[in-house]
């Protein structure tokens, strides 16, 4: 293994756990990696080290202006949508202002009625299943999982149902970090800005109107950028959570009962995915505010540290092989940790959408089974996400709900 490990390539998609083990063996809990353009960074793989980084927002800051590599970053660098500079969003706000911003977002989401949230999810999930149920086959990633979360969030935020598909495409492009990343980001910013303008003139009972009524004095531009982050961070991981959980249930005999009428192990499958196959594998980033030591490494002022969420989840120092992952063990890093972790109300929204989406599939599609060998399923080429590109299934055809009594 070379001195720096490229944070790309097929092994991150096909065998990340083995690669993480090799990186730990070669480099320890903090490994030197390279992003596109041979840009150096540190990948934090150790559970304790990641806890330290995310728990100390002063030493390991979210302020990207500290980065000592900015002079090397071209304006078309593909990761700029994820590792930005001068972006007025919650991702790069620090200190008391960040705490106020997190409280604003948490309160706006917390007021969403969980009964209505589940009803919206069931409605949209049923519509998506109606479109494929008579065929006897479907791709549950492309035709279902990637389309469901953003439709629910669009309703919560105040977008029309017709605007949701464009938001899905833009969020996917932004997170993938390829050539279309900047275009996707611009589409999201423009869409959020227009919605904020509309709600400023015509308030409604939705998340955006509640954000605009905040007592902290955040500007419309700041709120628009926060909405962009909420869509990207809400749709992509939640869609991946649905897809990865369904893959596990379709390929692991422990969950066979859930496929044929039982539901008790849906939550277990979802929790196991967060430990073993987290949709968000790596997150940028933290920047060292001064020289320090971490995991035996000398970290220089301004160095970028990438949060190896999946690597930390599988750290053998805290998890022995075969240790149980179900039964309420939620000590994983899949929602982050510390001040910049996913707000609890946002986590609850994601859980409702994901669990409801999975349960609707199991209710609506009888004798569902994979249509291809499990080993042929492929993953997206993203340095940040580990989600499926497709999940082809077959099942006994059934008529859409609108054609039979409910």
Q: Which of 319, 335, 324 lies closest to 278, judged by CA?
A: 335
At residue 340, what are phi and psi to the nearest 5 degrees?
-100, 15
- Quick one: tokens of 103? 């409280």
Q: Which of 137, 164, 146, 207 lies closest to 371, judged by CA?
A: 137
Task: Give Cα 354 distance to the centre of its chain.
Answer: 12
Q: Which of 291, 310, 292, 309 lies closest to 301, judged by CA?
A: 291
Q: What is the pLDDT of residue 150?
A: 87
Q: Three-state DSSP class for 61?
A: strand
Q: Domain containing 31: what range? A: 5-403
Give CA–CA dist 9/121, Å, rounded.
Answer: 35
Q: What is the pLDDT of residue 406?
A: 42
Identify any residues that bridge with 32 across adjacent strands, giving them in sequence order. Answer: 42
Q: What is the pLDDT of residue 260?
A: 60
Give CA–CA dist 291/300, Å, rounded.
Answer: 4
Q: What is the pLDDT of residue 405?
A: 44
Q: What is the pLDDT of residue 347?
A: 92
Pairing state between β 39-44 and 304-307: parallel
CATH assignment of the domain containing 383: 1.10.630.10
Q: What is the pLDDT of residue 1?
A: 44
Low-confidence ranges of the chain (pLDDT < 70): 1-2, 174-181, 256-264, 320-328, 402-406
DSSP string, 89-132: SGGG--HHHHHHHHHHHHHHHHTS-HHHHHHHHHHHHHHHHHTT
Pairing state between β 283-288 and 297-299: unpaired
Report DSSP state, residue 320. Answer: -
pLDDT tens for residues 297-352?
Answer: 999 999 999 999 999 998 988 876 655 554 567 788 888 888 888 889 999 999 99
How many domains does the chain divide into? 1
Instruction: Indicate the pTM of the whole model.
Output: 0.90
Residue 73: which residues within 8 A CB-CB, separation 6 or more? Answer: 37, 39, 80
Give CA–CA dist 91/285, Å, rounded.
Answer: 9
Q: What is the pLDDT of residue 257?
A: 61
């Amino acid at each position: 293994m070379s001195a720096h490990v490229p944070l790309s390539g097929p092994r991150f998609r096909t065998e990340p756990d083995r690669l993480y083990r090799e990186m730990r063996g070669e480099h320890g809990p903090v490994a030197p990696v390279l992003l596109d353009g041979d840009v150096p960074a540190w990948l934090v793989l150790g559970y304790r080290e990641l806890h330290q980084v995310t728990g100390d927002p002063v030493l390991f800051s979210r302020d990207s202006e500290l980065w000592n590599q900015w002079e090397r970053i071209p304006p078309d660098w593909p990761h700029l949508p994820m590792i930005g500079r001068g972006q007025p969003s919650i991702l790069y706000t620090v200190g008391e202002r960040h705490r106020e911003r997190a409280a604003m977002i948490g309160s706006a989401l917390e007021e969403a009625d969980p009964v209505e949230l589940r009803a919206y999810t069931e409605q949209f999930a049923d519509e998506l299943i109606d479109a494929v149920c008579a065929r006897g086959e479907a791709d549950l990633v492309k035709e279902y999982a990637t389309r469901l979360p953003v439709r629910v969030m669009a309703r919560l935020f105040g977008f029309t149902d017709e605007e949701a598909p464009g938001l899905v495409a833009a969020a996917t492009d932004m997170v993938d970090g390829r050539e279309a990343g900047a275009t996707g980001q611009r589409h999201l910013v423009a869409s959020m800005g227009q919605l904020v303008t509309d709600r400023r003139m015509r308030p409604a009972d939705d998340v955006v109107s509640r954000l605009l009524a905040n007592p902290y004095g955040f500007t419309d531009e700041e709120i628009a950028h926060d909405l962009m982050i909420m869509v990207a961070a809400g749709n992509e991981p939640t869609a991946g959570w649905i897809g990865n959980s369904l893959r596990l249930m379709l390929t692991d005999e422990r969950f066979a009962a859930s496929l044929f009428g039982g539901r008790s192990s849906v939550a277990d499958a979802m929790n196991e995915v967060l430990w073993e196959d987290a949709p968000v594998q790596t997150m940028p980033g933290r920047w060292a505010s001064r020289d320090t030591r971490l995991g035996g490494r000398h970290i220089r002022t301004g160095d970028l540290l990438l949060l190896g969420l999946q690597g930390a989840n599988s750290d053998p120092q805290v998890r022995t092989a075969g240790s149980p992952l179900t039964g309420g063990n939620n000590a994983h890093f899949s929602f982050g940790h510390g001040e910049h972790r996913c707000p609890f109300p946002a986590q609850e929204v994601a859980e409702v959408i994901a669990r409801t989406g999975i349960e609707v599939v199991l209710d609506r599609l009888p004798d569902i089974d994979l249509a291809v060998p499990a080993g042929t399923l492929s993953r997206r080429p993203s340095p940040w996400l580990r989600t499926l590109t497709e999940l082809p299934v077959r099942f006994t055809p059934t008529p859409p709900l609108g054609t039979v009594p409910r």
